[in-house]
């Protein structure tokens, strides 16, 4: 092993251990921790975050990373080691401009924010969350300005954190293309919606049975319970300590069958990405998924492209019917498939169909952008949110819980994250187009054999962790760059077919 | 604040944060973590333990503690600060003789041991656990020898860790007294056992309903769910991050009603101790319960003295019957009380009645003592265990799961802990004798009003955390030292009455 690289190991080990502790503390807060505990526990989180900061900002580490980035040293590193150096340097560069004291206070704030958000959401009261959100936005503005390079806009700094190379300029083009396809398509679809009756979805579905079916479903999809855990939280999410300990949450509603099912398929998609990272990478700074866009491509590939297809449900719909005989025996598979794909403007992003989904993302993108350009204040968020929903989707939230408070992201300080979902959907469509060419994709689904599909994704994407970025992964797989046309074509083709529209 | 003391704060803060992380990792392993995850997670645990070791072994901290132990500095410290210095110094002294590398390796071993034990227990296969246990015993022998002062025996070092000042000499006397009272009493009781039919306890009790009733029961006892969490694990236990985040586990069996109920009452007793520690102490090294004996006194006070009394069940037995109408409608309260107190030799410590319980402890004490005096090897444990059960209780385990593998303690490296249960029972009986004199104890129970009882314990014991030891707490409460006679009298009186024996 390269001698300089060897000197990195203790830093990596320590930052991995501290990250593990912080990840578990955060998982615990979302899933289990008692309501009144966080005030004190956040102090420990502040101390551990501070310790992580000190570990990464060690001047010795800075020297090592600089040296290892030079060509001479690079030539003696393995591919995996190069990726580790690159990612560690990225973390270093992101953290270096931030004052240590601010980082600690911000970490403590975020540790407490999620339970404040959850409580505010339960009461549907934005005002209760606003002070925390204001603080978080101020920290993020400050950090983004400090991290900005060469006159970079602060919001571009945030976007780049989740998807390397993405800027408002690129996203404007990307979203413009999608909007110009989706809006007219949605008009045609809405005109035909009366013939789809999905009232079955809002019957009463016992939570226990949903839980049981969704455990089966996650396993069917490929989630390995020997290396993973399923729990429940206000907002579904995936996290992991390493590739042998991957955790997903779901949230079940008594009067909405789809919500639980598709959040489980979605999160299990994320989970398989992490489970399939190679052992060589897992405990290193290159051990997680590549970008958030790439991560969302995997979750949304399973949720939508696979999970909303008739082929996927063919072998298992009977089991769902058996789980809920009273609710579903009069709903044949064909009607269920129409129901889970019915495109209609709605209030909740996580429950949106594939066609209206990107509009939910565009709304959040535009709002965050205004917020970070000081064009609106935190207090104005509910009003702006509701107005945008009216403008883009023609629906209006009747309260904050189904409006501006619906998503967990802002409570976690994840500003600039939302576009990852749309980028992910686009990548998923592009991968799907390619996979259909190289394997009997639909046959596999109909046979209930997801192994070759998973194995393909493991081989071309998952195993590499974050040692390759989105561009490299797509190039490696199909010799192409990200191209949003596939997504537009996919949506157009799918909805034209489903709704029997004229081409 | 004393200037020297102020310099302690960063060390306390860091060791508190690392302890919080390690506590949560351990809780997670016992309750939730996926089976195959621990191999990698234990590396993070090793690193964090190593970091804790470095924090506590800092030469600067040593100097500060030495200075603060001097009379001049002590005079300017508050009572709380004095306790903090004393406890931190105790941790320092316990750790100092141990080589850092060994400490880390041992921490990693213990992190993995619990799942190895659980798996071995599930298969009832001691051989599968033996190699891990051997390693752990070797480490503990080595550490005890390194920590021994003035020719102290290694096993005395371990005993002293859990109960200050306790030695084999003291315990021999203590157990001798108990044995000479219990053994003849048990003979008389056994002769009359035919008239107590507790077959109802082994009917089929749905786990879900047990869980629901036990949640109610914990709340009835005083467990505050806003500051606590209840989960399930192979072996019930209590842990806490601080006084606002206290966690208990239970384990329910379909064919044994008592097991779940009394483990919940027991663990909730531990939990209330931790919940009632004062805010001033909670995040400090004096923030936990006093000794393990004192801790077990609280759990066993609730489990036995309160929890097995007719007065306790009078207001709530109806609810238990409503929860299990098919199983309990033909069991009147009087028969239930006889059943939960029936004294008969059995295999499982946690399910033992009050009378045979100390014999289970004596067996473990004698075995550990032989093990640490090199009189037996790890491989001989199953044979010795089974022989002792035959000798003392007249019963013999048919497999390791109901024998030597039944307890979690050894997998956690807790050698020398078991006597705490008997010490705890003795303290509980002594406290009970005093409380009956100063308050209408039985009336409170019959009225379903546990508040004055809890409040008395909070005021005289809980609030002080570990700022006072057992002797000081008992002296402060009743102006007496620990006296095992109360325990002997309590058992004699209780069983004489229950079984209608001649005095």
Q: For residue A239, list its beta bridge partners.
A: A247
Residues of B whose CB is below 8 A from A242: 37, 40-41
Distance in Å, alpha carbon of A323 to nearest chain B alpha carbon = 19
B121 burial type by CB count under 10 A (0-12 exposed, 13-18 middle, 19+ buried): buried
> What pLDDT digit, counting tens, does each position of A356-386 carry?
999 999 999 999 999 999 999 999 999 999 9
> Of A20, A228, A244, which is closest to B44 when you measure between CB atoms?
A20
* Ramachandran area for residue B281 (φ above 0: left; ψ -120 to 50: alpha; else beta): alpha
DSSP B252: -
Taking an 8 Å cut-off on Cβ atoms, the answer to whether B40 and A229 are in contact is no
* First-last CA distance in chain B: 60
Contacts of B472 (CB under 8 A, 6+ apart): none
Give me the torsion for CA of B258, B261, B265, B266, rounded to 10°: 50
Q: For residue B250, list its beta bridge partners.
A: B232
Question: What percent of chain A is modeled with pLDDT above 70?
Answer: 100
- Helix/strand/coil for B447: coil
Q: How much is the pLDDT for B1? A: 84
- The stretch B391-418 carries a mean pLDDT of 96
Overall size of chain A counted in residues? 503
Taking an 8 Å cut-off on Cβ atoms, the answer to whether A51 and B17 are in contact is yes
Q: For residue A240, list its beta bridge partners.
A: A246
Chain A to chain B Cβ contacts (< 8 Å): 121
> What pLDDT digit, counting tens, does each position of B171-209 carry?
999 999 999 999 999 999 999 988 899 999 999 999 999
Query: 10 Å Cβ neighbour count for B325?
Result: 9
Residue A340 has pLDDT above 70, yes or no: yes
Continuous segment of H or E residues that includes residue B230: strand B228-232
Angstrom CA distances, A92 to A98, A191, A290, B32, B98, stand at 10, 53, 17, 33, 35
Nearest CA among A166, A196, A258, A180 for reference residue A491: A180
- The stretch A265-274 carries a mean pLDDT of 98
Cβ atoms of B397 and B333 closer than 8 Å: no
> What pLDDT digit, counting tens, does each position of B320-337 carry?
999 999 999 999 999 999
> What pLDDT digit, counting tens, does each position of A8-47 carry?
999 999 999 999 999 999 999 999 999 899 999 999 999 9
User: Position of tokens 């084999």?
Assistant: B168
Taking an 8 Å cut-off on Cβ atoms, the answer to whether A37 and B231 are in contact is no
Confidence category of residue A291, pLDDT binned at 50, 70, 90: very high
Taking an 8 Å cut-off on Cβ atoms, the answer to whether B226 and A34 are in contact is yes
User: DSSP of A390-404, one letter per residue?
Assistant: HHHHS---SSSTTTT
- The stretch A433-462 carries a mean pLDDT of 98
Confidence category of residue A503, pLDDT binned at 50, 70, 90: low
Q: How much is the pLDDT for B503? A: 60
ipTM of the complex: 0.94
Query: 10 Å Cβ neighbour count for B265?
Result: 25
Q: How much is the pLDDT for A194? A: 87
> Of A35, A41, A231, which is closest to B20 when you measure between CB atoms?
A41
Phi, psi of B37 (to 5 degrees): -85, -25
Nearest CA among A299, A207, A297 for reference residue A246: A299
**Chain B residues with CB-CB distance to A under 8 A?**
13-14, 16-18, 20-21, 24-25, 28, 32-37, 39-41, 43-45, 47-48, 51, 225-229, 231, 241-246, 282-283
Residue B502 has pLDDT above 80, yes or no: no
pTM of the model: 0.94
Report the distance separating Cα A405 and Cα B476, nearest Å: 52
Residue A1 has pLDDT above 90, yes or no: no
Q: How much is the pLDDT for A404? A: 98
Question: What percent of chain B is modeled with pLDDT above 70?
Answer: 100
- Which of B29, B221, B267, B354 is the catalytic position? B267
Helices (H) and strands (E) in chain A, counts: 24, 3
Q: Two tokens at B210? A: 């047990």
Query: 10 Å Cβ neighbour count for B182?
Result: 25
Residues of A whose CB is below 8 A from B32: 229, 231
B347-383 per-residue burial string, b: 16 or more CB within 10 A, e: under 16 = bebbbbbbbbbbbbbbbbbebbbbbbeeeeebeebbe
Report the distance separating Cα B377 and Cα B360, nearest Å: 20
Report the distance separating Cα A460 and Cα B35, nearest Å: 27
Residues of A whose CB is below 8 A from B21: 21, 24-25, 44, 48
> What pLDDT digit, counting tens, does each position of B275-316 carry?
999 999 999 999 999 999 999 999 999 999 999 999 999 999
Taking an 8 Å cut-off on Cβ atoms, the answer to whether A229 and B48 are in contact is no
Q: Say whether B153 is catalytic.
A: no
Continuous segment of H or E residues that includes residue A224: none
Question: What percent of chain B is modeled with pLDDT above 90?
Answer: 96
- The stretch A485-492 carries a mean pLDDT of 97
Strands A238-242 and A245-250: antiparallel
Angstrom CA distances, A218 to A258, A494, B248, stand at 14, 25, 29
Taking an 8 Å cut-off on Cβ atoms, the answer to whether A20 and B13 are in contact is no
Q: How much is the pLDDT for B501? A: 87
Taking an 8 Å cut-off on Cβ atoms, the answer to whether B44 and A226 are in contact is no
> What pLDDT digit, counting tens, does each position of A172-217 carry?
999 999 999 999 999 999 999 988 999 999 999 999 999 999 999 9
Residues of B whose CB is below 8 A from A274: none
Mean pLDDT over all residues of chain B?
96
Residues of A whose CB is below 8 A from B43: 13, 16-17, 283
Question: What percent of chain A is modeled with pLDDT above 90?
Answer: 96
> What pLDDT digit, counting tens, does each position of B42-91 carry?
999 999 999 999 999 999 999 999 999 998 989 999 999 999 999 999 99
A67-102 per-residue burial string, b: 16 or more CB within 10 A, e: under 16 = ebeeeebeeebeebbbbbbbbbbeebeebeebeeee
Overall size of chain B counted in residues? 503
Whether the CA torsion A207, B234, B401, B343 is positive or negative: it is negative
A292-308 per-residue burial string, b: 16 or more CB within 10 A, e: under 16 = bbbbbbbbbbbbbbbbb
Taking an 8 Å cut-off on Cβ atoms, the answer to whether A48 and B17 are in contact is yes
Angstrom CA distances, B180 to A87, A166, A379, B325, stand at 68, 80, 75, 42
Angle (nearest 5°) at CA B382 between B379 and B385: 125
Q: Which residues of A are catalytic?
A: 267
Q: How much is the pLDDT for A501? A: 87
Angle (nearest 5°) at CA A6 between B37 and A97: 85
- The stretch A224-230 carries a mean pLDDT of 98
Q: How much is the pLDDT for B194? A: 87
Residue A463 has pLDDT above 70, yes or no: yes
Contacts of A398 (CB under 8 A, 6+ apart): none
């Amino acid at each position: 092993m390269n001698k300089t690289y060897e000197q990195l190991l203790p830093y990596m080990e320590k930052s991995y251990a501290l990250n593990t502790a912080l990840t578990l503390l955060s998982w615990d807060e979302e899933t289990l921790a008692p309501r009144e505990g966080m005030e004190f526990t956040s102090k420990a989180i502040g101390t551990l975050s501070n310790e992580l900061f000190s570990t990464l900002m060690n001047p010795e580490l800075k020297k090592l990373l600089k040296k290892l980035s030079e060509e001479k040293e690079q030539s003696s590193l393995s591919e995996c080691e190069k990726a580790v150096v690159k990612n560690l340097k990225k973390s270093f560069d992101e953290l270096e401009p931030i004052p240590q004291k601010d980082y600690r206070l911000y970490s403590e704030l975020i540790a407490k924010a999620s339970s404040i958000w959850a409580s505010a959401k339960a009461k549907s009261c934005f005002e209760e969350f606003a002070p925390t959100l204001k603080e978080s936005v101020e920290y993020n503005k400050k950090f983004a300005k400090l991290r900005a390079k060469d006159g970079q806009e602060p919001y571009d700094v945030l976007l780049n954190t989740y998807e390397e190379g993405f800027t408002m300029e690129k996203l404007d083009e990307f979203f413009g293309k999608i909007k110009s396809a989706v809006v007219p398509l949605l008009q045609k679809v809405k005109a035909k919606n009366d013939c789809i009756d999905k009232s079955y979805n809002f019957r009463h579905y016992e939570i226990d049975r949903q839980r049981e079916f969704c455990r089966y479903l996650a396993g069917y999809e490929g989630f390995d319970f020997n290396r993973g855990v399923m729990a429940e939280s206000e907002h579904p999410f995936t996290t992991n300590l390493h590739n042998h300990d991957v955790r997903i949450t779901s949230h079940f509603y008594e009067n909405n069958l789809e919500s639980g099912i598709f959040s489980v398929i979605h999160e299990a998609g994320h989970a398989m990405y992490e489970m399939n990272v190679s052992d060589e990478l897992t405990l290193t700074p290159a051990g997680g998924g590549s970008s958030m866009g790439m991560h969302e491509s995997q979750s949304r590939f399973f949720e939508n492209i696979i999970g909303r297809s008739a082929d996927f449900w063919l072998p298992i719909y009977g089991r769902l019917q058996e789980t809920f005989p009273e609710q579903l025996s009069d709903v044949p598979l064909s009607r269920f498939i129409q129901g889970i794909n019915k495109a209609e403007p709605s209030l909740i992003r996580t429950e949106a169909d594939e066609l209206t989904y990107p509009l939910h993302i565009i709304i959040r993108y535009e709002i965050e952008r205004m917020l970070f350009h000081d064009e609106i204040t935190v207090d104005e968020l509910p009003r702006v949110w509701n107005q945008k929903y009216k403008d883009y989707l023609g629906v209006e939230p009747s309260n904050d819980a189904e409006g501006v408070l619906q998503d967990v992201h802002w409570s976690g300080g994840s500003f600039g994250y939302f576009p990852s979902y749309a980028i992910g959907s686009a990548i998923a469509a592009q991968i799907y187009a390619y996979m259909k060419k190289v394997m009997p994709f639909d046959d596999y689904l109909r046979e209930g054999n997801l192994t070759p599909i998973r194995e393909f994704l493991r081989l071309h994407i998952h195993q590499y962790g974050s040692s390759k970025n989105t561009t490299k992964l797509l190039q490696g797989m199909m010799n192409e760059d990200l191209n949003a046309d596939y997504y537009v074509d996919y949506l157009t083709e799918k909805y034209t077919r489903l709704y029997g529209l004229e081409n």
